[in-house]
Amino acid sequence: MFKNILAIIFIAAAVGIFVSFARPVWEDASKLGDEKAALENVQAEFQRLRKVRDDLMAKYNSIPPEDLGKLGELLPPAPASGALLVNLENLTKLSGILLKRVDVKEKQAVFAGLAAPPPGPYEELPFEITVSGSYEGFRAFLSSLEQNLRLLDVEEISFTASEAATYEFVIRASAYWQKP
């Protein structure tokens, strides 16, 4: 009987020792399994993002160089106020009206108490132009301005009548350019 009790004590001690040493190892193995699963998820996400990047690069590389130039003109990488002035002058000449004045303004906060607008991938270049000519010529100018590649927002138009069928138009607008 003593041998049976001693055997049971040794078996219980062996099981206790095994459990006390094996449990931390088992927990470490479980943690490593969890970390492995997390790393596999990260790797799968990287592979998905790599595929998206490759697809975008393929789409970008499939764009003809002429169209890339048009995209650069639509939203140039710099303010390009000189190119904007030349463009406006060409449009006024084609429309048969006279470009009198161009004022390019610094962008300023409308109200100091308001929060700044959320940052975007572009900057605004506000300007004001004064043109003189007939109403039909002005309509042609607005139409060509609308179809122009450079992205412009006309915010306000005011006019004054002068001699006969000649008007003076003041246009407040904004052009846009990409942030670096």
What is the model's pTM? 0.60
- As a whole-number percent, the residues of the chain with pLDDT over 70 amount to 92
Tens of pLDDT, residue by residue over 117-145, are 556 788 888 999 999 999 999 999 999 99
79 and 166 together in one domain:
yes
Which run of H or of E encompasses 115?
Answer: none
Tens of pLDDT, residue by residue over 70-92, are 777 777 877 888 888 899 999 99
State the residue for tokens 């309509």: 139
The span from the CA of 145 to the CA of 109, in Å, is 26
Domain count, the chain: 2
Residue 49 located in a structural domain: yes
- Report the helix count and the strand count for the chain, using DSSP H and E: 4, 4
49 and 16 together in one domain:
yes
87 and 173 together in one domain:
yes
Residue 137 located in a structural domain: yes
Which run of H or of E encompasses 162?
Answer: none
Distance of CA 158 to the CA centre of its chain: 33
Domain boundary (23, 41, 62) is at 62
Cβ neighbour number for residue 132 with a 10 Å cutoff: 19
Residue 68 located in a structural domain: no
State the residue for tokens 């193995």: 29
> What is the extent of the structural domain holding 147?
74-178
C-alpha dihedral (140, 142, 128, 152), degrees to nearest 10: -140
Give the CATH number of the domain where residue 105 resides. 3.30.70.60
Tens of pLDDT, residue by residue over 38-66, are 999 999 999 999 999 999 999 989 988 88
23 and 94 together in one domain:
no
The span from the CA of 145 to the CA of 173, in Å, is 11
Q: Is the pLDDT of residue 111 over 50?
A: no
Dihedral angle sign, alpha carbons of residues 130, 135, 136, 142: positive
Higher model confidence: residue 15 or residue 92?
92
